[in-house]
Chain A
Amino acid sequence: MTDTYEPKVIAFCCHYCTYSAADLAGSMRLEYAPNIRVVKLMCTGKVDVPLLLRAFEDGADAAFVGG
């Protein structure tokens, strides 16, 4: 157990840009923090308030929207 607070971050990523960048990072064997959960969306225009609130309801500490 560690005392360091590690927030669970859910990342809503656009298929055409941010998700592609994350995919490329993977191809390049670059690492990103394990407390980030990536959710691919076809467009971040899909992100609305109920979707973000649902992330928090389901236990996320923060939401990241990349698009």
Chain B
Amino acid sequence: MIVGERKPFDEITGMLNGYKKVLILGCGTCVSVCMAGGAKEVAVLASQLRMDSGIQEKGVEIGEETIQRQCDREYIEPIVEMAKTYDVVLSMACGAGVQLLSDMLVPTPVLPALNTSFIGICEEEGVWAERCRGCGDCMLGITGGICPVARCAKTLFNGPCGGSVNGICEVSKDTPCAWQLVYDRLKALGKLESLEEIQPIRDWGPSSSGIPRGVYREDMAGVAVESEGSSK
């Protein structure tokens, strides 16, 4: 899932300075699961902002709403007219949700209430960890399901480096060496021999180092338009 964290309260109130009618819009998918931007977090932030408005005598009106996803048009469309009755929309989605919402709500401004952290997993209650950088060329099949792009500080493809000491990365004593994890996993899988294969220089073309990436599915793109046309 996309993991996010709510921005500091002072930063949020700073962004909202001058607006009198604010809609807080939650997202019911990733950031809801990581307890940063779902319905409950919307209720908490709304309550805090109402109290702040009362104490500072700002007279701000706060609206609350949560939709299933802010990264899909079909979920935003039903709330567009309602959202445009506000001076500003404070989105509690990830950066993708904020951007699509901004596109669809012009001229109503959309502000981010979260910082988008990473694509990751929940390790235990209250602890999330990065697992994927979305590099576009997955090599988990040859590393036993441990990603060296996301989890090795040097993004090595033929590790470990000399900085791996007792299974710990030299960059941080709290970070396990990804390549030690790869070794241990491949050993457990009985596939250690795959480490003998030298990985070639990586083509970073599919990664995020260039222009914004996109996925085009020939079998799907335009299908909705075609079916709409045929039903008329």
Q: Which A residues contact B (CB, under 8 angstroms)? A: 48-50, 53-54, 56-57
Contact = CB atoms under 8 A, between A and B. Distances in A.
Contacts of A53: 43-44, 47-48, 51
20 contacts: A48-B40, A49-B40, A49-B43, A49-B44, A50-B40, A50-B43, A50-B44, A50-B47, A53-B43, A53-B44, A53-B47, A53-B48, A53-B51, A54-B47, A56-B47, A56-B51, A57-B47, A57-B50, A57-B51, A57-B54
Q: With a 10 A CB-CB cut-off, give which of B40, B47, B48, B54 has the most chain A CB atoms.
A: B47
Contacts of A50: 40, 43-44, 47
A11 to B, nearest CB: 19
Nearest to B54: A57
A48 to B, nearest CB: 7
Contacts of B48: 53
Contacts of B43: 49-50, 53
Contacts of A49: 40, 43-44
Contacts of A56: 47, 51
Interface residues of B, number: 8
Interface of B: 40, 43-44, 47-48, 50-51, 54
A57 B47 CA distance: 7
A57 B62 CA distance: 13
Nearest to B44: A49
Minimum-distance CB pairs A-B, first 9 = A53-B47, A50-B43, A49-B44, A57-B47, A57-B51, A50-B44, A57-B50, A50-B47, A53-B44
Given A48-B40, A57-B54, 6 more contacts: A49-B43, A49-B44, A50-B47, A53-B44, A53-B47, A53-B48
Count chain B CB atoms within 10 A of each CB in A50, A54, A57 and give the residue with the most. A50
A48 B40 CA distance: 9
B39 to A, nearest CB: 9
A54 B40 CA distance: 13
A14 to B, nearest CB: 21
A24 B54 CA distance: 39
A11 B51 CA distance: 20
Nearest to B43: A50
